[in-house]
């Protein structure tokens, strides 16, 4: 069961950069060839996605692996109690 959880966590960790970095950059590079020149691609979307990657990547591991999740919940309860 733990190996399956780690496998799912690694698949999610691999897919996060693809969704947040590689696919948007590919679209940003290819889009000018297919849209009229008077339309511009909004660069703020790509900057936002690139800045979200370092935040979302470790959060996915914490959420998916139950030992880490229980540890974070325990720390939160200890901080709330004090």
Q: Domain-by-domain residue ranges, the chain?
A: 2-81
Average pLDDT over residues 20-40: 84
What pLDDT band is residue 73 in, cutting at 50, 70 and 90? very high
CA within 13 Å, CB half, 70: 3
Tell me the per-residue pLDDT of 33-57, one tens digit each, with 9 for 90 and over. Answer: 888 877 777 788 888 988 999 999 9
pTM: 0.72
How high is the pLDDT of residue 75?
Answer: 94
How high is the pLDDT of residue 13?
Answer: 93
20 CB neighbour count, 10 Å cutoff? 21
What pLDDT band is residue 70 in, cutting at 50, 70 and 90? very high
Residue 65 DSSP label = S
């Amino acid at each position: 069961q733990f190996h399956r959880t780690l496998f799912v966590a690694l698949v999610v960790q691999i897919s996060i950069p693809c969704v947040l970095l590689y696919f948007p950059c590919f679209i940003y590079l290819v889009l000018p060839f297919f849209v009229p020149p008077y339309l511009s691609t909004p660069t703020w979307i790509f900057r936002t996605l690139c800045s979200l990657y370092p935040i979302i990547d470790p959060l996915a591991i914490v959420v998916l692996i139950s030992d880490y999740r229980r540890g974070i919940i325990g720390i939160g309860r200890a901080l709330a109690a004090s």
